[in-house]
Amino acid sequence: MNIPKHPTLIRRSLLARQKELQAKSPVLAASLVTIRRACGNPNCRCARGQKHLGHYLTWKLKTKTQTAYVPVDLVPQVKQWTQEHRRLKQLVREITQLSLALIQTHVTAKRHKRARS
């Protein structure tokens, strides 16, 4: 992202992103992963190496990684919800940079004013 120099332009960029900062779906701060695993039934094909494919969500709670099973018919939706989290996270990152830039231009402007008078 290019951060504009002028406060007016910074505010304009900020405003555009503030408007985007609205969840368009449920939001999931987790990753969707595909895991091969055995179900535990010794007579199942998975016991002979053909493991089952399953979709799971993983996320960190403090230091522990949590997982949740995702039924296959929900996978497209859940994927979208994790993408929505990524989109919002990126927006917050950019809004932070622009907000900091705004503070910095304010400091610079004050310094210039003081130098002139």
> Which residues contribute to the site for Zn ion (CB under 5 A)?
39, 44, 46
In the three-class reduction of DSSP (H, G, I as helix; E, B as strand; rest coil), residue 6 is classed as coil
Q: How far is the CB of 56 from Zn ion (least distance, A)?
A: 16
Nearer to Zn ion, 27 or 46 (CB): 46
Q: How far is the CB of 37 from Zn ion (least distance, A)?
A: 8
The CA distance from 6 to 91, in Å, is 20
Task: Tell me the residue length of the chain.
Answer: 117
Nearer to Zn ion, 49 or 76 (CB): 49
Nearer to Zn ion, 16 or 35 (CB): 35
Q: How far is the CB of 34 from Zn ion (least distance, A)?
A: 16
DSSP code per residue over 56-82: EEEEEETTEEEEEEE-GGGHHHHHHHH
